Structure 1
């Protein structure tokens, strides 16, 4: 009996593909299956970003300057957990977490330290922040204004994707409906004031990290994107304006061909979703995306093997037509990346970009019987899931009913069972293991960071104009209770040195916390 081989998404792989798939599509033209630009990397490589942020703003700033000196083209900021869920560093809930998984940012003064010596008008910055994304964006805008920047020229992205937090990650604060209101306020504000800013990065990355397979990652991400489109349309925004600044954030795993098929299918599906909702401008129909190599694929055992995994995932992302890419450090199953690991990760992108030849032509795998068939199958399975979600009333309802969470949990359980039963081989884990494990140098963050941040907060609260602070927080409260856009009063508040926790707490009092 012939062996059956299938992808993690359950797509059966035939031993041989002999039938051509019709390929009338051209890159840069609807539905963008082959890429959103006619020439793709022939004219300009993808943006090479390296995700970094830890400890104090000064320590992260030092790493940014190092990465810029090594050739990164854009910055990508990681924030610590207290910053992500709206607590100042001196709050009781912050103990043990300050500066650990990202940088601690409490105020505009921290933001100034974070970007010291970096001109915001000349760099593109991505910020992985969701529940408090509006506050971090306000801090970034306030700093840009202090630097004398033209806000029409500053560019970057805030993740700002709260739906996947409820489904897969957990760093939410407020209930879904007010959270969606914050997001549409950001869309409206930036479309007028900061038009080059990507106002959301709809993230499949964390959905995949939580255990979803490739098809689920694609379907749940696009379903969330569809919910954001509808919320913005319901708020009276023009899809041909705001949809141009939506971007996506996907994971790249080890199955090279399924990942390439996923990225190609994603563009085609998003083009159809936006067109069905009324988008007629091609730029509002394009799916632009950032990719990060798969953190959950990294192993603590034989960590140098991860260099090879990351190289395969880099090929998947770039053969799939990504617009920007972060490559993980080989030691990230053990700790935050060391400087050496961050450099090797960046060099992996550079070698693929400048030495491999894949940038020489657009969509190099197009026309492959296998890749074209796989693209169609990934798309068909993803539509099945999206149609189920639509029947439930959309992504918000599907999340509230627990459907998305249950699907991810089932997939994660199945994947782990396959590893434990040796049905899925992970090199160094369940095959080709080594008795003498070599553990590389581990990067550690000292707990004294919290003391430093607490002292800074104490000094800040003594020096600032506290009457102006009270007035600013009151204006945020009034906007939240009414219909005024939240962004202007939040920007004013951070300029008056209100802290991130103080602003988050105003909205906690009004909307409560989601449980």
Structure 2
């Protein structure tokens, strides 16, 4: 076969003008008014961040795509992508420690690689950490801790337990999960006095140099996502939080590159697959810019990402539709380059998930790896005119929000003075109104609700900490009015 063979040579080259003429004919049949110069604008839309979505995108030959594993890491943190699959993390928050342990072992035996343990308020009692991890091989299974205000004490207890079990330091992976700013966002309260900063930095230094495959800090942007933030608001707040943690660690003597290595970012993944893909790519691009401004050029500049399927998009009514939402969200997270993925069980909004829901949640990302083979391609969305344009626009908007937060005194100030809450509230109320009037569809709630549905019965789940930013679901008001509590 000749090297210069062009398979489309016998077909005429289509032009934008010809496409526009065909669009005009179709739009005219609909009766909609349109501009003769740009009839396609009838089909255009705008995201919640004000980013225009055009009907047609063409590849930009001037665009420098870069390469996976290289700055600005838009195309992925690693040159090889996730060729062996993603880290499938099972979330465990059962209030009964023995049940939590049984479920954790079942998760690990049934397809999960790692555990995400929610401890304290909203999860398993902190004192039962040893019970939850009984039988878990800490040199095999990765463990990420999520203990809120008690993260420091729980982190030290976890490392002490591993030391007692003589687990090799280098074999341990996961994260201690310290996130004091996240605690402030969720509860309205946090303690970052001088002694707290010293204790946090001391544990972070210990993890960085003794447990080289672990991380100590989590930038949990779910608190913003679950309050109704737009994608750019979520990224902007995450950037501001991450930068504050870099300051905290480096001011206590940690080298910049080591400080970057200690951070993991957690984002919400929604059923808007292209938005999810672009959000994760834009997050890496923006974080690479932070690294550049920090004069860091190395592998630790690549942002490590944990994507979690969106809580706000889940429904109590017709919960089976959540399986579809979770699958699309997981697909977007996979294609977007997340390092690890958690799919929330389809019945999570109803209470404590049952075994079937947990199994489907584990199997969803595994199916994308083993049967759909999504991991075989590195950055499959790279070069797409739409994805690249959306990534760039989202990165620009997120960076704008980040710089505004910084100019106002930083993330701590933005949370304590209410400015960030007000910004998110405006976006939240606009979207809730769209769901309420039906202009935004929620399948099974305001569109095609099942007649005479009886809600699934589940045991109540422990309430997460409150007092700060709200934790909402888009359909909750409509479900309440329909008796779906």
Q: Paired residue for 1:32, among 65, 69, 73? A: 73
Q: Paired residue for 1:370, among 386, 393, 401? A: 386
CA distance in structure 2 between the aligned counterparts of 1:133 and 1:438, rounded to whole angstroms: 39
Q: Paired residue for 2:159, among 129, 141, 146? A: 141
CA distance in structure 1 between the aligned counterparts of 2:448 and 2:408, rounded to whole angstroms: 46
Q: Paired residue for 1:78, among 111, 118, 127? A: 118
1:320 equivalent in structure 2 = 336
2:367 equivalent in structure 1 = 351
SS at match of 1:62: helix
CA distance in structure 2 between the aligned counterparts of 1:175 and 1:321, rounded to whole angstroms: 33
RMSD of aligned Cα (Å): 1.9
Large movers: runs of 4+ above 6 Å = none
1:103 equivalent in structure 2 = 124
**Pairwise CA distance, 1:124:** 0.7
CA distance in structure 1 between the aligned counterparts of 2:135 and 2:188, rounded to whole angstroms: 31
1:239 pairs with 2:256: yes
Question: Structure 1 length as normaliser, TM-score?
Answer: 0.78
1:249 pairs with 2:266: yes
Q: Paired residue for 2:100, among 60, 63, 66? A: 60
Aligned length, in residue pairs: 422
1:405 equivalent in structure 2 = 421
CA distance in structure 2 between the aligned counterparts of 1:233 and 1:18, rounded to whole angstroms: 43
CA distance in structure 2 between the aligned counterparts of 1:344 and 1:438, rounded to whole angstroms: 22
Gaps in structure 2 of 5+ consecutive residues: 1-32, 34-41, 463-485
**Pairwise CA distance, 1:173:** 4.2
Contact 2:120 2:148 (8 Å CA) reproduced: no
Rate the CA distance shift 1:358–1:122 in 2: closer, same or farther, 3 A: closer
Contact 2:59 2:383 (8 Å CA) reproduced: no
1:383 equivalent in structure 2 = 399
1:185 equivalent in structure 2 = 202
Contact 1:54 1:80 (8 Å CA) reproduced: no
Rate the CA distance shift 1:171–1:310 in 2: closer, same or farther, 3 A: farther
Deviations, residues 115-173 of structure 1 (Å, cap 9, x unaligned): 11122122210112232111111111111111112234322113212213323x21744
CA distance in structure 1 between the aligned counterparts of 2:79 and 2:263, rounded to whole angstroms: 20
Contact 1:55 1:102 (8 Å CA) reproduced: yes
CA distance in structure 1 between the aligned counterparts of 2:423 and 2:199, rounded to whole angstroms: 28
SS at match of 2:319: coil
**Pairwise CA distance, 1:28:** 0.7
Question: Structure 2 length as normaliser, TM-score?
Answer: 0.83
1:426 pairs with 2:467: no
2:24 equivalent in structure 1 = none
**Pairwise CA distance, 1:423:** 1.7
1:427-442 equivalences in 2 (<5 Å): 427-442=443-458
SS at match of 1:333: helix
Q: Paired residue for 1:131, among 146, 149, 165? A: 149
CA distance in structure 1 between the aligned counterparts of 2:216 and 2:290, rounded to whole angstroms: 19
1:422-501 equivalences in 2 (<5 Å): 422-444=438-460
1:222-237 equivalences in 2 (<5 Å): 222-237=239-254
Q: Paired residue for 2:238, among 209, 218, 221? A: 221
**Pairwise CA distance, 1:275:** 2.1
Contact 1:27 1:38 (8 Å CA) reproduced: yes
CA distance in structure 2 between the aligned counterparts of 1:239 and 1:343, rounded to whole angstroms: 40
SS at match of 2:174: strand
Rate the CA distance shift 1:24–1:408 in 2: closer, same or farther, 3 A: closer
SS at match of 1:397: helix
Contact 1:164 1:207 (8 Å CA) reproduced: no
2:302 equivalent in structure 1 = 286
2:45 equivalent in structure 1 = 5
**Pairwise CA distance, 1:302:** 0.5
1:41 pairs with 2:58: no
Q: Paired residue for 1:150, among 168, 180, 198? A: 168
CA distance in structure 2 between the aligned counterparts of 1:161 and 1:445, rounded to whole angstroms: 23
**Pairwise CA distance, 1:215:** 0.8
**Pairwise CA distance, 1:176:** 6.6
> More displaced, 188-197 or 29-38?
188-197
Contact 1:49 1:324 (8 Å CA) reproduced: yes
SS at match of 1:251: strand
CA distance in structure 2 between the aligned counterparts of 1:350 and 1:220, rounded to whole angstroms: 31
Gaps in structure 1 of 5+ consecutive residues: 82-100, 447-515
SS at match of 2:348: coil
Contact 2:117 2:143 (8 Å CA) reproduced: yes
Contact 1:119 1:147 (8 Å CA) reproduced: no
CA distance in structure 1 between the aligned counterparts of 2:390 and 2:453, rounded to whole angstroms: 38
CA distance in structure 1 between the aligned counterparts of 2:195 and 2:227, rounded to whole angstroms: 25
Rate the CA distance shift 1:171–1:133 in 2: closer, same or farther, 3 A: farther
CA distance in structure 2 between the aligned counterparts of 1:8 and 1:138, rounded to whole angstroms: 41
